[in-house]
Amino acid sequence: MKTKLLLSILFILPFLFLSAQESNQKSVAVTVYNNNLGVVKDLRTIDIASGISTIKLTDVAQYIDPTSVHIGIDGEVLEQNYQYDLVSINKILKKYLDKNIELINEKGELLEGTLLTANSNQIVLKKKDGGLLMLPNTNKYQISVEELPEGLITKPTLVWMVSSPKSGEQDVEVSYQTSGMNWHAEYVVVLNEDDDKLDLNSWVSVDNNSGTTFKNAKLKLIAGDVNLVKPQYNQRLYKGEVMMAMDAAPSPQFEEKSFFEYHIYNLQRSTTLRNNETKQISLFDAKDVTANKKYYYKGGNYYGNNSSGKVSVIIEFENNKANNLDVPMPKGKVRVYKSDGDALEFIGEDMIDHTSKKEKIKLKIGDAFDITVKDVQTEHNKISKRAYEQVFEITIKNKKDENIVVDVERSLGLNWKILNSSLDFEKLNVQNILFKVPVKADGKTVLKYSVRYSN
């Protein structure tokens, strides 16, 4: 069987590498970025002979960028090779084309011959009598070969040719970049009954798909948009995320500080980053954050077309000390919950970008069920060759049992002037204005305004 074959082959591999110099890992530090990048600093003690010799370093990331490797050694590095042709059944069989192999079935019967082709689970053998043995499926066979073909290895390995002035053990520091590593923040927000206070828990998820495990590593996370040159070599990218429900978060475990034009988060303990694992660690939490629920509708010019729009529900809060926050918030997904009296229920989610201190956070939670908008352009009049006027009518109905205010933003373009309006407006910038439209419980409000454009 395939499993038995793989186990039997891997069992003999350690004996094939006894000549490689042993290395003892003293420490490892991993810095993970937001964009499929990890930087590894690996300190090892290696016994190096004087003169020219070869050093092999195993357990490096499978998706290492060999061009990024830096080695600190008492001596000179003459040559570096990255060996990554890893053992697999298909690779072994390709190396044994036109050579003799043996197959053993479940009954213990031996089949022997020269391997002519090996494609997926299909094998064709040339028997000793000259006939052909064709096996459309080898799942029920154990395959035996004489030895491991030259050039195949069990782990990605860095190999250096070095020149050392003396013999003996020395600490060798190796650093390199690898793809297959990422981290992202997740936030859990719980709104109170009146929607004016919230509790916030922040978590980081660290994804390690680099092809190796980093044991007892010093972990740092870099938040920010680091510019990377597009790689010229094949690089495997990873997508997907593991979502976990969190109840109460423990105390923050990261120390945050500014670093260049980014922010760095330093985990205050060692941790193990296993290959093909997502690790979640508490970042920070905040209690009794003052929040504001708002209703928001954005429309534009429709040139005679009417529309029925949705009113967005927005939760916003200030990221400052007075509001029990004042922390840099890495980009990530924010999930919002609220109790219905029996249990917490999910009410929506949004993404935030990297947000510095003293900035406002705005979260779109969803669309209001009981608030409707009818947006109509009622007139379009040409005044002259260089000017025309438009009239708009926006009707907002509120079926809730409480009074509300809806922020209505309009994108007007350029060269405009409001001639008249049933409500005051605020000019946001050269193209946009904002109306605050009050609507009574179980009532409606009609906003009318006219605008003149000139060229």
What is the per-residue pLDDT for 267? Answer: 86
What distance in Å separates the CA atoms of residue 325 and residue 314, rounded to the nearest whole number? 19
Please report the pLDDT score of residue 86 as a whole number: 65
pLDDT of 306: 59
Nearest CA-CA partner of 378 in 306, 446, 330, 439: 306
The pLDDT value given to residue 254: 72
Neighbours of 157 (CB within 10 A): 19
Position 11 scores a pLDDT of 35
Strand partners, 394: 375, 447
Model pTM? 0.68
pLDDT at residue 153 in the model: 62
**Any idea what the Cα angle at residue 62 is, between residues 94 and 69, rounded to 5°?**
125
Determine contact, residues 368/295, Cβ cutoff 8 Å. Answer: yes
- Of the chain, the end-to-end C-alpha distance in Å amounts to 80
pLDDT of residue 225: 63
SS3 content of the chain, % helix, strand, coil (to 5): 5, 60, 35
Please list the pLDDT of the chain residue by residue as tens digits (455 residues): 333 333 333 333 333 333 344 568 889 999 998 888 999 999 989 888 899 998 888 878 888 888 888 888 888 888 888 776 666 777 777 887 888 888 888 878 787 888 888 877 788 888 888 888 788 877 778 888 877 777 666 677 888 888 989 899 999 899 999 999 999 899 999 999 999 999 999 999 999 999 889 999 999 998 876 666 665 544 443 333 333 334 444 455 777 666 666 677 888 889 999 999 999 988 888 999 999 999 999 875 555 455 678 899 999 999 999 999 988 888 889 999 999 989 999 999 999 988 888 899 999 999 999 999 999 999 999 989 889 999 999 999 999 999 999 999 999 988 999 999 999 999 999 999 999 999 999 999 999 999 999 98
Element housing 4 (H / E): helix 2-16
- Domains of the chain and any CATH numbers: 104-144 (no CATH), 295-310+368-454 (2.60.40)
